[in-house]
Amino acid sequence: MKMLTVPALILPMIAALLIGPAKATPNCLRDNQPYKLAGDSIDWSMTIRPGANCIQGLRWSTMQIYSVSIAEQPKGGEITLVGPGFRYFAKSDFKGSDSFALVVVGKNRHDEGQSVIHITVSASNDGLVANLAGY
């Protein structure tokens, strides 16, 4: 019997697709401005229904992302890194607020560097709404 092997980079993407319902919103944040990969730290925020999930890319047109890592895990949900982005899953009993932080390393135009993105998540029963707090 022949065994099928899957490259290590493909497994997180397959896992992200198989976890949870396919009710993710493609644009979870509104008015989000780019970070600079210049040692900056920015704050984003989103509002999400309990049990919902959110997919958000992190790349901007002038960037090449080398890596994304989780600096602080969320407590009211789960996060999965998907390429140069993330998918946040709110627990079905999620109430109040949650937060997590990501470190993005790469090159913006010609300069290499990193940024830290702090994301605050608030529970809502009104649907999935999101916005950027600023930096």
- Side chain identity, residue 118: H
More confident residue, 3 or 126: 126
SS3 27: coil
Instruction: Give me the pLDDT at residue 77, please.
Output: 96
CA–CA dist 18, 26 (Å, integer): 16
Q: What angle do CA 35, 60, 54 make, to 5 degrees?
A: 85
Arithmetic mean of pLDDT, 30-35: 73
Residue 79 has pLDDT above 60, yes or no: yes
Confidence of residue 30 (pLDDT cuts 50, 70, 90): low
Q: Burial of 71 by CB count in 10 Å (0-12 exposed, 13-18 middle, 19+ buried)? A: exposed
**CB of 13 within 8 A of CB of 80?**
no
* 131: confidence class by pLDDT, cuts 50, 70, 90: very low
Question: For residue 58, what is the enclosing H or E element?
Answer: none
> What pTM did the predictor assign?
0.73
pLDDT for 84 equals: 94
